[in-house]
Structure 1
Amino acid sequence: MTMDLFSQFASSTLLGTPLILLAMLTPWLFFPLPSTRWTNNRLLTLLNWFMIGFTKQLLLPLNAPAHKWAFLLTSIMVFLLSMNLLGLLPYTFTPTTQLSINLGLAVPLWLATVLMGLRNQLTHSLAHFLPEGTPSPLIPVLILIETISLFIRPLALGVRLTANLTAGHLLIHLISSAVSATISMSLTVSALTFLVLTLLMTLEIAVAMIQAYVFVLLLSLYLQENT
């Protein structure tokens, strides 16, 4: 039972080849291509409105040097959002439930913000390790705590995304199994369980959107500290 429950998070293979790369590239096939017409269709107009509005909202608190990250942050948001939502469909695989994938996104982006801060404003970046007015006996302890909090940031980014999506998928799997198990015993209980499953699916769609936004928002906050 345990292996069946967690087997949904195992990457599918074809002839011994993992298909996780295909699962990561598939969402991009559903996005419409740019049109050569003067007026875009409704889908392209809606997509452009979303991207422009999200980019403005994301870059509003950031300094001017951080605005060059606009394309990268928006692309990551769309990438995570599409993978999270497509993973809720039946017979699909969600790459963002893999901690290795999420850490592979979080660590390089976090490291880029840290290196940029050390290169452009070394004194300001190092000042985060030791607040002004700290008593001398607490200096080594505070430096150690700030160093740990700095290096734990990419781990928190990856684990947060993985844990939230994995928990939602497990709950959906358990409740859907309960629906099929109770339908032969009581239609009323099965119908109530199916209603709970419908509400959980709605919640999971919201979680998929929110977690993609939180991932990019935290990256923008790290970027704000280093620009």
Structure 2
Amino acid sequence: MTLSFFDQFSITSFLGIPLIALALTLPWILYPTPQNRCMNNRLLTLQSWFIRQFTHQLFLPINQGGHKWALLLASVLIFLITLNLLGILPYTFTPTTQLSMNMGFAIPLWLATILIGARYQPTHTLAHLLPVGTPAPLIPILIMIETISLFIRPIALGVRLTANLTAGHLLIQLISTAAFHMFFMMPTVATLTMILLLLLSVLELAVAVIQAYVFVLLVSLYLQESV
């Protein structure tokens, strides 16, 4: 029984095709492409408004040089939100519960911010490794600590997204399994458990959106230090 709870996170195949490939392709099909004949479409208007509000809020404290990342980070945000929300549906697979995929997002984005800072602002980038006013005996220790924290950033990005979504899915499955087994023995307790499951599902919807936003927000903060 314990092992079956983790079956939902295993990558399965159908007719030799990994379902994770289908799950990664599906989000882009759900969003319409703007065209001249449907510029007044309500869905496109809402989509454009969301992207404008997101980019304005996220890139307001970032210098002009970092605004080139607006399209990339907006696409990553919409992609992660869609994957997280689709993964809550029954009998679906959530690719963002795979640490390897999340690290595949986190490491290139983090490395790009480091390379941009090293190219355009090398002195400013190196200055982050040593706080101002540090006593001379503590300089080697602080440089080592800041270097380690710098390389931990992509791991924190990937693990945070994976852990939050995995924990939510496991908790929903545990509560739903308990409600199913108690339905005939203790109907009242099972009903209360189902109400709790409904509230938890609403919470998981919020977590799916928030974790995608936090992922992109942290990348933008790393970018802000480099531009």
Structure 2 length-normalised TM: 0.97
Where do 1:138-217 residues align within 5 Å?
Answer: 138-217=138-217
Structure 2 partner of 1:50: 50
Cα deviation code 1:1-22 (max 9, x no counterpart): 1220101000121234422111
Where do 1:19-168 residues align within 5 Å?
Answer: 19-37=19-37, 39-168=39-168
Q: What is the letter of the counterpart of residue 114 of structure 2?
A: V
By how many angstroms is 1:122 displaced? 0.6
| Structure 1 residue runs of 4 or more that deviate by more than 4 Å after TM superposition | none
Counterpart CA distance in 2 for 1:185 and 1:40 is 55
Counterpart CA distance in 2 for 1:38 and 1:78 is 21
Alignment of 1:224 with 2:224, yes or no, is yes
Counterpart CA distance in 2 for 1:35 and 1:131 is 51
Counterpart CA distance in 2 for 1:200 and 1:190 is 15
Length, aligned pairs only: 227
By how many angstroms is 1:134 displaced? 1.4
Counterpart CA distance in 1 for 2:56 and 2:213 is 14
Counterpart CA distance in 2 for 1:216 and 1:118 is 21
**Tell me, what secondary structure is at the counterpart of 1:152?**
helix
Q: What is the letter of the counterpart of residue 201 of structure 1?
A: S
Structure 1 residues 123 and 207 mapped into 2: Cα distance closer, same or farther (>3 Å)? same
* RMSD (Å), alpha carbons: 1.0
Counterpart CA distance in 2 for 1:33 and 1:127 is 44
By how many angstroms is 1:32 displaced? 1.8
Structure 1 residues 132 and 203 mapped into 2: Cα distance closer, same or farther (>3 Å)? same
Question: Structure 2: where are the runs of 5+ without partners?
Answer: none
Of 62-71 and 177-186, deviating more is 177-186
By how many angstroms is 1:41 displaced? 1.6
**Tell me, what secondary structure is at the counterpart of 2:36?**
coil
Structure 1 residues 39 and 25 mapped into 2: Cα distance closer, same or farther (>3 Å)? closer
Counterpart CA distance in 1 for 2:38 and 2:22 is 34
Of 161-170 and 20-29, deviating more is 20-29
Counterpart CA distance in 1 for 2:7 and 2:188 is 30
Cα deviation code 1:132-168 (max 9, x no counterpart): 2211111110000000000000000000000000000
By how many angstroms is 1:47 displaced? 1.0
Q: What is the letter of the counterpart of residue 184 of structure 2?
A: S
